[in-house]
């Protein structure tokens, strides 16, 4: 869930913009360098951004009969690396804010920090760490998707707790309140997104091996 327009105090809006800006600028430079070295990847990056946006339209089956949707930032971080996702994720958030009023302009910095920066970096770190421990493909992919999802919502909880400390129990109480409320939906959703990521990665490994090799995600010759 993105923090909606008007939900953060002005000073905190500015602080989150300042915190996100270096990552987004670094990501933009990375994208510019990629496009300069590989002009053919411009459209691939655009397709990846559009794909991230469309992911939110695809519903995930849920055990309760209800449905949820994935965020896709973990997969994006594995395929395109976190700096690129910082730029693409911010553009996605900007489109969602202006076209769907989902998120907001004044909260763009905070949302970019949670969804386009913290989520992808945490997911990618989990992917690389588990990749060193095991040779199997599925544990790192599962961890990347699930951790990116959970990290996004953990950071969002921290942002909301800083903005709205509980009247009785202060920041810790507010953090516990927001984390526990998010946990009801996000822990099952993160597990579901992790499972979906494993199946999706398997599908792409079979159906789009040349593209994955081109991105450097899988080696040219492998039996994984």
Is there a contact between 75 and 200 (Cβ–Cβ < 8 Å)? Answer: yes
By C-beta, is 43 or 129 nearer to other proteins? Answer: 43
From 4, 219, 199, select the one nearest 101 (Cα to Cα): 4
By C-beta, is 129 or 136 nearer to other proteins? Answer: 136
174-203: contacts with other proteins (CB under 8 A):
174, 176-178, 181, 192, 195-196, 199-200, 202-203
CB of 70 to other proteins, least distance (A): 8
**Tokens, residue 156:** 């969002």
Is there a contact between 81 and 144 (Cβ–Cβ < 8 Å)? Answer: no
By C-beta, is 42 or 128 nearer to other proteins? Answer: 42
By the rule CB under 8 A, 54 interacts with other proteins: yes
**Tokens, residue 162:** 């800083």
Q: Which of 15, 19, 50, 179 binds other proteins (CB under 8 A)?
A: 50
**Cα→Cα distances 193→9, 58, 74, 78, 149, Å:** 32, 12, 9, 14, 8
Q: Which of 18, 22, 66, 100 binds other proteins (CB under 8 A)?
A: 100
198-217: contacts with other proteins (CB under 8 A):
199-200, 202-204, 207-208, 211
Separation between Cα atoms, residue 221 and residue 25, nearest integer Å: 35
Is there a contact between 110 and 153 (Cβ–Cβ < 8 Å)? Answer: no
Q: Which of 78, 86, 91, 93 binds other proteins (CB under 8 A)?
A: 91
By the rule CB under 8 A, 99 interacts with other proteins: yes
By the rule CB under 8 A, 130 interacts with other proteins: no
The gap between the terminal CA atoms of the chain, to the nearest Å, is: 35
59-88: contacts with other proteins (CB under 8 A):
59-61, 63, 70, 87-88
2-21: contacts with other proteins (CB under 8 A):
3-7, 10, 13
Vertex 161: Cα angle to 155 and 165 (nearest 5):
170
- Determine the size of the site formed for other proteins (CB under 8 A): 73
Candidates 55-63, 111-119, 129-137, 143-151 — which segment interacts with other proteins by CB under 8 A? 55-63
68, containing H or E segment? strand 67-68
Separation between Cα atoms, residue 147 and residue 121, nearest integer Å: 9
């Amino acid at each position: 869930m993105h923090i909606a327009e008007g939900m953060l105090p002005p000073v905190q809006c500015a602080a989150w913009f300042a915190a996100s800006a270096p990552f987004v600028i670094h990501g933009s430079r990375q994208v510019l360098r990629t496009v300069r070295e590989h002009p053919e990847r411009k459209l691939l990056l655009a397709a990846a951004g559009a794909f991230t946006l469309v992911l939110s339209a695809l519903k995930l089956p849920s055990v309760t009969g209800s449905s949820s949707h994935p965020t896709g930032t973990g997969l994006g971080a594995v395929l395109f690396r976190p700096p690129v996702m910082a730029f693409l994720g911010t553009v996605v958030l900007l489109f969602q804010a202006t076209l769907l009023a989902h998120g907001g302009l004044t909260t763009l910095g905070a949302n970019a920090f949670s969804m386009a920066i913290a989520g992808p970096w945490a997911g990618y770190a989990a992917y690389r760490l588990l990749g060193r421990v095991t040779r199997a493909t599925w544990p790192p992919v599962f961890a990347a998707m699930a951790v990116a999802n959970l990290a996004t919502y953990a950071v969002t909880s921290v942002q909301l707790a800083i903005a709205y400390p509980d009247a009785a129990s202060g920041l810790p109480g507010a953090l516990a309140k927001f984390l526990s409320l998010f946990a009801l939906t996000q822990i099952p959703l993160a597990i579901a997104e992790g499972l979906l990521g494993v199946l999706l990665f398997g599908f792409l490994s079979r159906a789009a091996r040349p593209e994955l090799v081109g991105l450097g995600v899988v080696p040219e010759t492998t039996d994984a």
